[in-house]
Amino acid sequence: MVVSERTLVTGKQLDVLSINTIRTLAIDAVQQANSGHPGAPMALAPVAYCLWQEFLRYDPEDPVWPNRDRFVLSNGHASMLLYAMLHLAGVRAVGADEQVLKELAMPMEEIKRFRQLGSKTPGHPESHITSGVETTTGPLGQGVGNSVGMAIAGKWLAANFNRPNFEVFNYNVYAMCSDGDLMEGVGGEAASLAGHLKLSNLCWIYDHNNITLDGPANWSFSEDVMTRFVGYGWNVTRVADANDLAMLGRAFETFLKTADQPTLIVVDSHIGYGSPHKQDTNAAHGEPLGEEEVRLVKRFYGWPEDAKFLVPEGVREHFRDGIGKRGGELRGQWQKLYSGYSQKYPEMADRLERMRHHELPEGWDKKLPTFPADAKGLATRDSSGKVLNAVAQNVPWLIGGSADLATSNKTTLKFEGAGDFQAGEYAGRNLHFGVREHGMGASVNGLVVSRIRAFGATFFNFSDYMRASIRLAALMEAPSIFIFTHDSIGLGEDGPTHQPIEQLASLRAMPNLIVLRPGDANEVTEAWKLIMGLRHQPVALVLTRQAIPTLDRTKYAAASGVAKGAYVLADAPGAAPDVILIGTGSEVALCLDAYEKLQAEGIKARVVSMPSWEIFEQQDSVYKESVLPAKVTARVSVEMASTFGWERYVGPQGRMIGMHRFGASAPLKDLLKYFGFTVDAVVAQARQAVTATR
């Protein structure tokens, strides 16, 4: 079929025309940008077209409809496939607070600005930039990991909010993925968890194209993926040709009929032209085709060779009559159902609205524990467990779990009705991720972008296993909660393999991530108040294994100073301090002991508790100067971690007490003495700092 701008076609010809429109938009965008991956969109265009046009329950007029099906492009390098679908389907833009706007999420001018500065078409899809993108993808495996969290969210919402004759949640989650997604460890972790939980609302579409960026996939990948997924407990089906719309339709129907397993659809595709007989080398290796190759490809499609960004007449109307009409009717039926639900169950509807807008219930902070002064004290993991349970009782959509360490992390929700989330029993709020830190992080992000407030927990040292998920939460402005215990050499005999050293500095370097290391039990309560107020930033809450003193707040400043990131905990009476001691976490009490000894020696000292660098940096210059006055250059930081970064607060004349090597296996008291975390060591450094500035 030869295409012109006014080609009029119907039926199967219109299917082909629409598919080739997706392909040529991808080709033209990549060619104009001189950057990107045209091959995967070209090969997968029929798959995306069949799914969106025939099966996806999605209304382009309301892309934040709560019961919409979710589509995740885990192979995010194929971003032009998603951008083309958003454009042709006429998906609306969404503004602040989920307000649907009149303009398109993906107008043609944005496709023409593919990969350009400030565009809504970055090289990999970003959910905080582009309406209609459900989650930020690109690092392979992350999207499928997020999709498991989204599917968990769907099951949890249905179990907790559906009522007889009011099935307000029954959406499905579709994730398109590549060989790379299934090679990445996080993809295996996520698939294993999904199979165990029998997430029948989850469908992965595996683009089996036998190609990687380096070359043929069989250079590095020869496993039997289908058998692996059968072992995970998935329903597995195959489509031998990505261009076969009828077979694709039957595969999606198989998914919809499967009630007790997630589904993997293996689609054999040939990256490039979309023909089983042709494959393009440039497309396969993530490069623009080049002008001459573009002409050849368009000639193969029967496309005008000189046309760029062509959408033939009838294509947009075809999508409007397909996904647009079907999605609009489904949303209309749902809104009518939800209206009746809201009248009959107003409290549940109020919860849903608050969740949707990242709001908190009235009185969410009632009955939060306060802790009496206690020289022996308790571990901040213990105090956090108490506060977490109090908060979770007040916030019914706060759910989460640990990577096989809930008992140790103190993250089990123990109140009546909390329950466990298990296969077939989806109402529980305790998630069991198993030893799958990376899969846990990706799933938590999927839950959070589904508007459930979710947390995941493990030992701080193992934050390294989930760093990519933490980074993506920060990038896409998702308020995920990551709880890390066993935060220092203070965990003792387990030794350097489990003792975090560089993790604090590393996470503090990450943009848009809040790191909180509270210094006693009451700082923990204040930290949770701060966490629950976050709407666009994830948090790493870093907690001790060992008991630390609960400070006497009648003697020292109130723990509410946590809200400003750092505050003056103890000060020199009636005069400017000679030296400032700055501590975090378990080292705050050590600074206070040194402060008392310095005071007895006649050295005027100030102690600053600094649980969060990031929150402190958000304060105005007047407040920051009041805590760390520039004229006081004698400063000592004390933290059982790498000293990297503390220069910004202690200055060139300051001292830093910290770790300069990996830890050791020994009882805590021996480690503290060996590595210099003693009162005498802090006092000695403070004296030297004062002397150096006089």
So where are the chain's domains?
11-331, 374-549, 558-692
State how beta strands 100-104 and 92-94 pair: antiparallel
pLDDT at residue 215, as a whole number = 72
Separation of CA 625 from chain center: 34
pLDDT at residue 259, as a whole number = 96
Q: Please state which CATH number belongs to domain 11-331.
A: 3.40.50.970
How far is the C-alpha of 566 from the C-alpha of 611, rounded, in Å?
6
Which among 692, 682, 501, 537 has a CA at the least distance from the CA of 597? Answer: 682
Residue 668: phi and psi, rounded to 5, are: -55, -45
pLDDT at residue 96, as a whole number = 85
Please give the class, per CATH, of domain 558-692: alpha beta
Q: How far is CA 443 from CA 145, 275, 380, 389, 542, in A?
A: 6, 36, 25, 21, 20
> Strands of 655-659's sheet, edge to edge?
567-570, 605-609, 579-583, 635-642, 655-659
Could you tell me the mean pLDDT of each successive run of 10 residues in the chain, 694 residues long?
A: 55 91 97 92 96 98 97 96 98 92 97 96 96 97 98 98 98 96 96 98 92 77 92 97 96 97 93 46 63 93 94 96 97 98 97 94 95 97 98 98 94 96 97 97 98 98 96 98 96 94 98 98 98 97 97 97 98 91 98 96 96 98 97 97 97 95 95 96 96 84
pLDDT at residue 219, as a whole number = 87
Catalytic residue among 110, 189, 437, 526: 437
How far is the C-alpha of 164 from the C-alpha of 426, rounded, in Å?
17
Residue whose token pair is 């020199």: 572
**Could you tell me where the beta strands, DSSP code E, fall in 29-149?**
70-73, 92-94, 100-104
pLDDT at residue 276, as a whole number = 38
Active site residue 437: yes
Task: List, as own/partner pairs, every contact residues 227-233 make where C-beta atoms lie below 8 angstroms and the sequence separation is at least 24, other chains included.
Answer: 229/191, 229/195, 229/264, 232/191, 232/192, 232/194, 232/195, 232/196, 233/195, 233/196, 233/198, 233/261, 233/262
How far is the C-alpha of 330 from the C-alpha of 401, rounded, in Å?
34
pLDDT at residue 4, as a whole number = 55
pTM passes above 0.85 = yes
Strand partners, 205: 176, 265
**Could you tell me where the beta strands, DSSP code E, fall in 158-262?**
173-178, 202-208, 235-239
SS3 124: coil
Residue whose token pair is 């604090």: 504
Residues in the chain: 694
First to last CA, the chain: 87
SS3 8: coil
Domains 374-549 and 558-692 share a fold: yes
Please give the class, per CATH, of domain 374-549: alpha beta
